[in-house]
Amino acid sequence: MEGNYYPKYFLYVLFFLGSWLLCLLHFRQPLFHLPAGGTAVVLPFSRKASFFSTPAPVADDRPSTAPSSCDGRYVHMVDLPPQFDVCAEGSPAFESEHSICQLMSNAGIGPVLLPAGDRSDGDDADIVPNTGWYNTNQYALEVIFHHRMRLYDCLTDDPAAATAVYVPYYAAMELQPHTCGLFNATVRDGATEQLLRWLSSRPAWAVHGGRDHFMVASKTSWMFRRVPAAGGDDGTGCGNSFMVKPESRNMTVLTYETVIWEQPQRDFAVPYPSYFHPSSAGEVAEWQARVRAAQRPWLFSFAGARRPGTLAIRDRIFDACDAAMPRRSCGKLDCGGPEGSITCRSPRKLMSLFTSSRFCLQPLGDSFMRRSSVDAVMAGCIPVFFHEASTFEKQYYWHERDPDRGRGARSNNDHRYYVLIDQDDVLQGKVGIEEALSRYTDGEVAAMREEVIKMIPRFLYKDPRVRFAGDMRDAFDITIDEVIARIRKIKNGENSGGKDYSDGVEVANGS
């Protein structure tokens, strides 16, 4: 009997290997899209979270970094307990019908864009390449940033050795299901209050009172500054009070829009994520060349919806565009209504419009900043703002300045890249949008557009799943350097809350 055992065992092994090989050949498609460029990094799945929410600490093939290159740059990433894993399956945010957790595939950058020509994504827009572009949700930065931090070369398990402490909590994701409406303070603030109590109880917090801690909250600052009415919380309004809590006031919080008039500054604005997440510097250079060579028949364009009774400047823009269309001076994507909303969710249609335009109008929306302004940069389209609080110079000043012209350099008349038109002048009939923009010569437009194109790397976020091929600093790299520099100043007792603005903005007026 023992003599028959080994042949039978050998046949079982052959059968198993054959079945495994057939399955491998049959399921050749990857579970998620990875770009051709860059180096894939396999990161372990957390035992307590889904792959897009709270990952386990990094244990990848990160190359060893020379200690000298990490001096003063070490970051400790807090290992949050399971109850703070906002997007874990079964959590309230994940289960909510308003949850956006399911949109965070591919480490937050979302599903890859369908190839140009696919009818479901717009067959008339082929300016966008078929690689490196994703349908990224505008609130995805918390997830993207978290995954980029997992690849950060100077992570340390020792908070005492770190210059900064990163808290990978998804404050905007948690808020999303109850952003606006009849929700009481317990629903709005309960989760973040628990987080702050837990953080402030840790020994690592006590060392500097949380002043070395930072986190991302991927909404505008206003959404975390809700103050209940004096007579009591009636549950109306939008947002929560996360950023008015004593603990969070000590932290550095990264939002999409800050309160530019607040001093000292507590939160800092960083760009919305675009749809472009390259894996190599070559991809970026190729895209820059493409938008530089793009034909731009429209003088100006606008993508958005009217806001009757609330934002009169939107109505004036629609009127100006409609009046300019017979002269083929304006292009428009009307995002109003169900059909318009779907149209404006097509990155290919949006980029097709913006790459066909010289100027892209960026009026106020729900607040001062719009994701569309970052889309304009990606398209090499000169942004036109209607309020100073909407300008990159006031909001994204970490990213808008050209590092080749020095750390303190700001935009000036030799390096201008945007136009500011006072919305009150437009509403009062003192300035006509088409007339003001028509005054710029072809040479001036070309020079401004080149400045915008040079800004593209500083406003995009690399693919967070791979080792980037090439030497290029993106929005994440700039943000980390600035956060570490700020926290280093705090630890040294220096004033780090001020801002350095110049007056070099190009203002269009009726004179």
pLDDT tops 70 at residue 491: yes
Contacts of 235 (CB under 8 A, 6+ apart): 181, 182, 183, 184, 185
Instruction: Tell me the pLDDT tens digit for each residue of 374-390.
Output: 999 999 999 999 999 99
DSSP code for 272: P
Segments making up each domain of the chain, as ranges = 75-273+477-492, 293-404+414-459
407 vs 146, which has greater pLDDT? 146
* Upper half-sphere CA count for residue 194 (Cβ side, 13 Å): 15
Please give the Cα distance from 203 to 406 (Å, whole number).
Answer: 39
Please give the Cα distance from 505 to 451 (Å, whole number).
Answer: 13
DSSP string, 144-170: HHHHHHHT-TTB-S-GGG-SEEE----
Place of tokens 């020095």: 406
pLDDT tops 50 at residue 31: no
pLDDT tops 60 at residue 459: yes
Residue 118, pLDDT score: 56
Q: Which amino acid is at 120?
A: S
Instruction: Tell me the pLDDT tens digit for each residue of 47-86.
Output: 233 444 433 333 344 444 445 689 999 999 999 999 999 8
Please give the Cα distance from 330 to 347 (Å, whole number).
Answer: 19
pLDDT tops 70 at residue 38: no
Place of tokens 């070559």: 282
Which pLDDT band holds residue 7 (cuts at 50, 70, 90)?
very low
**Token couple for 37:** 């460029």
* Mean pLDDT, rounded, for 480-493: 95
According to CATH, the topology of domain 293-404+414-459 is Rossmann fold (3.40.50)
Laid out side by side, the sheet with 252-255 consists of 75-77, 164-166, 213-216, 252-255, 267-269
Please give the Cα distance from 152 to 141 (Å, whole number).
Answer: 16
Please give the Cα distance from 330 to 111 (Å, whole number).
Answer: 31
Give rounded-to-5 percent helix, strand, coil for the chain. Answer: 40, 10, 45
Overall pTM surpassing 0.95 (yes/no): no
Instruction: Tell me the pLDDT tens digit for each residue of 82-134.
Output: 999 988 777 777 777 777 888 999 999 999 998 876 545 444 458 999 999 99
Which residue from 449, 282, 274, 492 is spatially nearest to 374, judged by alpha carbons? 274
DSSP, collapsed to helix, strand or coil, labels residue 332 as: strand
Q: Which of 151-155, 183-187, 280-284, 392-396 has the lowest mean pLDDT?
A: 183-187
